Amino acid sequence: MQRVSTRVASQDANPAAPDRASDPGRGDGLVFDARDVGVAFGSGAAARRILRGVTFDVRDHEFVSIMGRSGTGKTTLLKVLGGLRDATPGSVVRANGAPVDGPPEGVIFVFQDYAASLLPWRTIERNVSLGLEGRLERPELEQRVTEALDMVGLADRRRDYPWELSGGMQQRVQLARSLAMRASVLLMDEPFGSLDAMTKATLQDELQQVHGDTGATVVFVTHDIDEAIYLSDRILILDGDPATIARSIPVDLPRPRDQLATKELPDFLALRRTVYEAIVGDA
């Protein structure tokens, strides 16, 4: 597999979302370009093919959700994009034409298991600073941590420990860590899947705000149809065995979005039916 790096200039703490059409430095605005991607577990006659012929792209500042039935390889595909899993020979994954060995620079994973991602003996601010220690002078480090905690509403809990926070707050710490590192791309694997409905809605709105403010590109795995429609610019449906991209569904809803008003729109309801039928089919 050819793997590629996404290198985007660091954003200021709360910059306006970039104008992709007027930014000459972005070229065609392509962040990920995947062509004929396959993944197999095992080798030889015993190999089980998980993905085959997966072809799609993700553009700068786009929010793309990946959906499909359980076992169709959503997380596997996310790991391929992040350089954490190799694809089969002949697969190509590119960003701006630059090859990469290992995780691309500027790409951060945010996982569902937030508790396992945080160090319980470190305070919240020291968990957020973890990836930057030794790389920045202390004043800049402290500034980045403060700005990131402000963006996720945890500035007043900076000296607490992870075990003193709720699950939703712990997931905010993961997001703050990504913001402090000025990630240009967030790969998010069901980050809100284990949270209660009200906490999930709050974090969806915070992620929507972060996406708009920072100009980050987001690739998001979820099983929640309403969540995918609410957050996304486009939804990719994985289907088959081995799976491939069965549908690419644009989400042309106005932004910013609102948990009540947006979900009452006729276009939202129509998209819910379209996505549901694309995933469930005749089952």
Sheet holding 92-94, edge to edge: 92-94, 30-41, 48-59, 243-250, 234-240, 63-68, 217-221, 185-189, 107-111
Q: What is the pTM of this model?
A: 0.85
Query: Helix, strand, or coil here: 37?
Result: strand
For residue 208, being part of any structural domain is answered with no
143 and 20 part of one domain: no
Could you tell me the residue range of the domain that residue 79 belongs to? 1-6+13-105+186-196+217-283
Q: How far is CA 199 from CA 176, 192, 227, in A?
A: 16, 8, 13
Average pLDDT across the chain, whole number: 85
Sign of CA dihedral 70, 71, 74, 79: positive
Residues 225 and 246 in one domain: yes
What pLDDT score was predicted for residue 22?
Answer: 33
Q: With respect to residue 281, please indicate whether it lies within any of the assigned structural domains.
A: yes
Instruction: Answer whether 87's CB lies under 8 Å from 80's CB.
Output: yes
* pLDDT for res 183: 85
The answer to whether residue 52 sits within a structural domain is yes
Residue position matching structure tokens 């090859």: 99
When divided into structural domains, the chain yields a total of 2
Which tokens sit at 92?
């190509």
Cβ-based burial of 272 (10 A; exposed 0-12, middle 13-18, buried ≥19): middle
The list of the chain residues with pLDDT below 50 reads 1-27, 100
What does the pLDDT read at residue 208? 94
Which helix (DSSP H) or strand (DSSP E) does residue 98 occupy? Answer: none
pLDDT at 148: 92
Task: At 37, list the tokens.
Answer: 């991607």
Residue 205 inside a domain? The answer is no
The pLDDT value recorded for residue 250 is 98
Q: Report the pLDDT value the prediction gives residue 194, as an integer from 0 to 100.
A: 82
Does 48 map to a domain? yes
Query: Is 2 in the same domain as 114?
Result: no
The answer to whether residue 98 sits within a structural domain is: yes
* Residue indicated by tokens 């590119």: 94
CATH code of 82's domain: 3.40.50.300
